[in-house]
Amino acid sequence: MGASDGSSDPAGAAGGAGAAAAGQGRRVEGERTRVVREDDCATRWGNEGLMVLSTPAMLGLMEQTCVEVLAPVLADGEMTVGVGVTLTHAAAAGCGEPVAYRVALTVVGRDVDVDFTVVGPTGTVLGHGSHRRRVVDRAAFLRRLPPPTG
């Protein structure tokens, strides 16, 4: 399953409606397979010696999949940010194993509702849940961030 084709409204980025309005109620599906790396493992998060996919890595890789699948649907100057998630981590995948991240996204206004499933190499569901992203104007969002410290 790959990302579906999508046209965007280039004029919408300036007008604030963008691809979110053009894709109202639109469903986009995609899948990315990633190999569990050492940096993705639970040992990085304090579970010493536990070389399996961690919950934080599962969440991050699912979000990365959403960003990649949504990219062709967004207007120039738009991006999405995560605003909520419900995740069940049901089974383990070891370091070096391929894991599929499957997402089904529905654009509703500026909100993107996501249903996702994470599947191991033998077809075992490793995790599943729902996620919400919001379409924002990249430049406006970045202007609101505090200046870096240091």
Q: Give the integer Cα–Cα distance in Å for 45 and 19.
A: 37
**pLDDT tens for residues 48-96?**
999 999 999 999 999 999 999 999 999 999 999 999 999 999 999 999 9
Query: 66 phi and psi, to 5 degrees?
Result: -60, -45
| Residue 12 pLDDT exceeds 60 | no
Looking at residue 75, the DSSP 8-state letter turns out to be: P
Cβ proximity of 126 and 99 under 8 Å = yes
Cβ proximity of 37 and 58 under 8 Å = no
Task: Output the pLDDT for position 17.
Answer: 43
**What SS3 string covers 89-133?**
ECCCCECCCEEEEEEEEEEECCEEEEEEEEECCCCCEEEEEEEEE
Task: Output the pLDDT for position 130.
Answer: 98
Task: Output the pLDDT for position 24.
Answer: 62
Enter the tokens of residue 131.
């996620």
Mean pLDDT (the chain) is 87
Q: What is the pTM of this model?
A: 0.81
